[in-house]
Amino acid sequence: MNIVTLTLNPALDKSSGIHRLVPEQKMRCSEVHTDAGGGGINVSKGIRKLGGNSTAVFPSGGNNGLVLEKLLQDAGIVVETLRLENETRENFSVTETSTNLQYRFNMPGMEMTTEMADACLDMVARLNPEYLVASGSLPPGLPVDYYEKIAALAHRIGARCIIDTSGEPLRAAADEGMYLLKPNLAELSALVGEEKLSIDQVDDAALEIIGKGMCEVVVVSLGPQGALLVSRDGFEHIPAPTVPKKSTVGAGDSMVSGMVWSLANGKSLREVVQTGVACGSAATMNPGTELFHAEDVFRLLHWIQTYGERYRIKDF
Ligand SMILES: Nc1ncnc2c1ncn2[C@@H]1O[C@H](COP(=O)(O)OP(=O)(O)OP(=O)(O)O)[C@@H](O)[C@H]1O
Ligand SMILES: [Mg+2]
């Protein structure tokens, strides 16, 4: 299994709790919990939880970068970093325990030059991956079409590329083409130039982007409704089980981790998406930025494979 994840805009996620948010007063927060964050990094964490391995490539800045590296290494993840002097950003989230509402403060990422990002791409090329997952936002300083270069690199080194980002960076990557795209409804709508697609338009939109050569496989994630798998062979709806939802943060990254892990294990596309949905749904059962517990994933996967058929959306 040779999977490499690339995170150009990593973060150190700090979270804490407070009874009630009040302005102009000192607020006593509970103990701070520190997590490694950023799209590709989350995918590496998910793969590890499932028992798989990947290498996480990212720029690592200053002390925060060192903390990030240590958190990942302690979790058993191989890291390859471009060491930089500036500090990797720190995001902060507070959960107001009286209302259970979460307030997320995301800082701008560490400024990167094209030369720095290219150095990360050189690391990826040297690792010669079978699967390359590039995920998350672009840091300030990089051209908006930088993801196109990542997709082109994957083509050049013969890696199957999965890109999970949004807006203009996603469009640029799609122009180059990749193996698998995992847009949510809003991202798919933007890719086909629509304001907001309705559920019964999703299959045609996905086929359109395959027809344009943007990717071979589209997995449209539909939140609590699961996902739609679309390839040249047809389409299939994979429903999500109903679970006690705590926080949907990290659901998308968890889903991608389950899919790439399953792909690297040679599973069928149906099982790949079933596993992705199980990981995404399992992630919603945990609070804050916590991803999923593997035992929840395997239980939910069993449910999907046993009862999923009955809950298919009939609109497609
Ligand atoms: N409320 C929910 N109940 C059950 N499963 C859910 C729920 N929300 C998300 N999921 C699961 O997580 C997967 C991915 O979620 P979603 O479609 O929201 O992705 P996303 O918009 O890319 O998420 P993110 O905001 O993390 O990037 C879904 O396909 C589904 O399996
Ligand atoms: Mg997403």
Ligand 2 centroid–CA 261 distance in Å is 17
Is position 33 within any domain?
A: no
Cβ partners under 8 Å of residue 44, min gap 6: 5, 54, 55, 56, 72, 77, 257
315 among known catalytic residues? no
Q: What lines the ligand 1 site, CB under 6 Å?
A: 184, 221-224, 226-227, 240, 243, 245, 248, 250-253, 255, 277, 280-281, 284
Full domain range(s) for residue 199:
38-90+114-311
Condensed to tens digits (0 to 9), the pLDDT of residues 161-193 reads: 999 999 999 999 999 999 999 999 999 999 999
Is position 207 within any domain?
A: yes
Q: At 315, is the pLDDT very low, low, confident or very high (cuts 50, 70, 90)? A: low
Structure tokens at 128: 């010669």
Is position 12 within any domain?
A: no
Question: Which residues line ion ligand 2, judged by CB < 5 Å?
Answer: 252
Structure tokens at 2: 């040779």
Pick from 13, 182, 281 the residue to mutate for probing ligand 1's pocket: most ligand atoms within 8 Å of its CB: 281
Q: At 72, is the pLDDT very low, low, confident or very high (cuts 50, 70, 90)? A: very high
- Is the confidence at residue 89, as pLDDT, over 90? yes
- The answer to whether 39 and 136 have CB atoms below 8 angstroms apart is yes
Q: Which residues is 139 bridged to in the sheet?
A: none
CATH assignment of the domain containing 249: 3.40.1190.20
Is position 274 within any domain?
A: yes
- Is the confidence at residue 76, as pLDDT, over 70? yes
Pick from 184, 229, 272 the residue to mutate for probing ligand 1's pocket: most ligand atoms within 8 Å of its CB: 184
Is position 52 within any domain?
A: yes
Is position 26 within any domain?
A: no
DSSP 290: -
Is position 130 within any domain?
A: yes
Q: How many folded domains does the chain comprise?
A: 1
**Which of 175, 253, 296, 315 is flagged as catalytic?**
253
Average pLDDT for 119-139: 97
Is position 208 within any domain?
A: yes
